[in-house]
């Protein structure tokens, strides 16, 4: 007998519907698997923002912002002078130092004029002194002639006394005249030597009029030297104050940008007021704000994926900080207050690392919004143990 096998072909319409249903089922189950994975193994947080280390610079005293060299948002280098600050008390001391220099210089000019007058007076005294020396020299010559005459008279009277033509009184008178002329000559010679000695040792400074020394050039020279020393000290004090003013200038603490200037140029500030806020460009962090239920699903050192919608860029990041009570702290009231479970009161800090391209680093600025994808940890000890075993088997 012959067996006949009849093949039943599915209608094309039925094949089409099977394909459609299979595709729909695949999509539905795939979406369900994706949702299940996203809700159990992955956690998406859209409340994240880029932050950079900020440093506030405060006024060291009461004063005024005299000059600003950079605009808000401008890039600055470490050590660059950004803001010149004028301290009221320091500026007063600088003005007083300038006045002190002017006063000392005026005193020096007065002393120099006095010295010039004294030198001119001493020139006159020197001329008088030379004239006196010449006069004493003339007197000495005259006294020498008188001494010679007295000596000749004494010798002649003595001879006449021997011959009987002169008396003893005449001889005594001749001897007295000789002694007197000798004494006068000796006195004038001593006076001439003293005047020459004084003229040589104190030329231009002293003059002896026979009774006292005249002239103040030496004292004036000492006063001039002291005045110049005081002027040098006044200049040193002024320079020290100017250096202190330079130290008060606000300099960038690091490479970054001037993020904020609460006080404009020429504004008065008080001690402790914030003058400028600098942002560090060398380090970028992302602060993600989570609820209390979400924060227990992340851990220190976990990897995360940060997506920047405005840049269409995704970057790997590491969790470097978790603060569950960040949102409970009220900065103004300085106290802790409770928040609802739906409040995003926990802060997770992520580091973007130092290997970013410079172009990407420049584009990721502070305040840029971000979306963070965390690898959610299981809060159930049983599920966590099962997941660890599965992960170990997969490895």
Structurally, at CATH architecture level, domain 92-239 sits in Orthogonal Bundle (1.10)
The pLDDT assigned to 387 comes to 60
> What does the domain layout of the chain look like in residue ranges?
38-53+283-394, 57-80+252-275, 92-239
* Domain range 38-53+283-394, CATH class: mainly beta
Q: Digits of tens for pLDDT over the chain (395 positions)?
A: 455 544 555 566 677 777 787 888 888 887 776 666 555 667 889 889 988 778 888 887 788 888 888 888 788 888 888 888 787 888 889 999 999 999 999 999 998 888 887 777 766 666 666 777 777 788 888 888 888 888 888 888 888 888 878 788 887 888 888 888 888 888 888 877 776 776 666 554 555 555 545 556 678 888 889 999 999 999 999 999 988 888 778 888 888 888 888 888 888 888 888 888 888 876 778 999 998 888 888 889 889 999 999 999 999 999 999 988 776 544 444 444 555 667 888 899 998 877 777 788 778 887 889 999 998 877 666 666 666 676 666 55
The pLDDT assigned to 235 comes to 94
Which of 261, 337, 265 is CA-nearest to residue 85? 265
329-351 tens-digit pLDDT:
444 444 445 556 678 888 999 98
Give the integer Cα–Cα distance in Å for 374 and 109.
81
The pLDDT assigned to 360 comes to 80
The pLDDT assigned to 369 comes to 92
Which of 8, 254, 217 is CA-nearest to residue 117? 217
């Amino acid at each position: 007998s012959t067996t006949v096998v009849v093949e039943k072909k599915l209608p094309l319409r039925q094949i089409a519907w099977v394909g459609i249903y299979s595709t729909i089922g695949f999509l539905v189950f795939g979406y369900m698997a994706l949702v299940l994975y996203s809700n159990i193994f992955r956690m998406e947080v859209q409340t994240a923002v880029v932050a950079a280390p900020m440093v506030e610079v405060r006024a060291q005293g009461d004063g005024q912002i005299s000059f600003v060299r950079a605009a808000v948002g401008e890039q600055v280098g470490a050590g660059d002078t950004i803001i010149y600050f004028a301290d009221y008390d320091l500026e007063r001391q600088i003005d007083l130092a300038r006045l002190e220099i002017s006063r000392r210089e005026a005193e020096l000019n007065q002393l120099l004029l006095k010295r010039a007058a004294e030198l001119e007076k001493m020139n006159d005294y020197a001329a008088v002194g030379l004239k006196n020396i010449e006069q004493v020299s003339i007197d000495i010559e005259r006294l020498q002639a008188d001494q010679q005459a007295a000596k000749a008279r004494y010798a002649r009277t003595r001879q006449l006394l021997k011959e009987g033509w002169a008396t003893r009184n005449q001889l005594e008178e001749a001897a007295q005249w000789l002694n007197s002329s000798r004494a006068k000559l000796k006195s004038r010679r001593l006076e001439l030597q003293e005047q020459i000695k004084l003229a040589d040792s104190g030329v231009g400074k002293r003059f002896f009029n026979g009774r006292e020394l005249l002239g103040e050039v030496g004292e004036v020279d000492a006063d001039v030297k002291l005045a110049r020393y005081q002027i040098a000290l006044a200049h040193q004090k002024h320079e020290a104050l100017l250096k202190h003013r330079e130290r008060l200038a606000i300099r960038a603490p690091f490479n970054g940008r001037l993020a904020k200037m609460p006080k404009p140029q020429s504004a008065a500030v008080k001690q402790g007021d914030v003058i400028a806020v600098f942002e560090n460009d060398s380090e970028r962090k992302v602060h993600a704000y989570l609820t209390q239920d979400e924060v227990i699903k992340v851990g220190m050192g976990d990897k995360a994926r940060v997506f920047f919608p405005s840049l269409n860029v995704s970057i790997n990041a590491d969790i470097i900080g978790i603060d569950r009570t960040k949102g409970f702290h009220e900065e103004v009231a300085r106290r802790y207050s409770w928040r609802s479970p739906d409040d995003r009161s926990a802060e997770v800090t992520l580091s973007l690392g130092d290997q970013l391209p410079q172009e990407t680093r420049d584009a990721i600025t502070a305040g840029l919004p971000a979306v963070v994808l965390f690898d959610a940890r299981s809060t159930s000890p049983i599920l966590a143990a099962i997941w660890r075993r599965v992960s170990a088997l997969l490895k």
